[in-house]
Every structure is written in C-alpha cells, then in structure tokens.
Structure 1
Amino acid sequence: MKKTANSLKRPDGDKRMAVLRLELDYELATLYEAMMENDEEKKRECKRRLEKLRQELMRLQV
C-alpha cells in the first residue's frame, strides 16, 4: 500500500527533489561566500537552512 501511495506522488516528488538540489547548491554557494567574508551570522543562517533542506530531501528519498 505504501509503495502504491509513493508511486502516485512520484512525479511531484521528483520535481521537488530537483528544486531541492538547486536550493542546496545555492545555499552552499552562499555559505562559501559567508566563509570567505568571515560572517558568522550568515554562516549560522546558511547552515540552518541547509539542515532543513537536507531533512526534506531525506524525507523525499524514503
């Protein structure tokens, strides 16, 4: 039953995963910028957003 439900959601899940990967790339670039600027507040914020994106990506992969 669970597999059937997941297969129905698959197209939207695939699209969301693609968007998440783009968002991850952007946040990683932003984190790199913050590291180069030694901006501790910006680094913390980027890490927080990256963790949320990672959790969402993990939920979609299950």
Structure 2
Amino acid sequence: MVCPCGCGRRLEVMLLKGVKPRWDLSVDKTGFPSLHPSVWVADGCRSHFWLRNGKIHWC
C-alpha cells in the first residue's frame, strides 16, 4: 500500500502466518479492508495509523 500521509512511500504489510511482524486483514461485507495492529512507519515520515473499514485513523 502507499503511505496515506502523501509521502509516496510504498509500505509492505506482511499477511503470512508465521512471519513477524505480521498484520491481520479483514474485509467487511461491503468490501472495505481493516488491518490489525496499527501501521507505524519507524523512519522517514513516521506515520502511525489504523486502517479500519477502508478509512485511515491517525494515531
């Protein structure tokens, strides 16, 4: 996914079981994705956010 802050950075979130760090992806009945836990970019733009029901919620 592209960082939602607008910096243009490509973020990779691992969804494979047994890999760390790893995120859980769920999709609601209308097709909107959610990720758990939050996504934190440790360097560069330092964004920290939740993706819930297709919307970004900043920490």
State whether TM-score is above 0.5.
no
The structure having more radius of gyration, on CA atoms, is: 1
Q: Which has the higher contact order (CA 8 A, sep 6+)?
A: 1
Q: What is the TM-score normalised by the length of structure 2?
A: 0.26
Which structure features the higher share of strand residues?
2
Q: What is the TM-score normalised by the length of structure 1?
A: 0.25
Which structure features the higher share of helix residues?
1
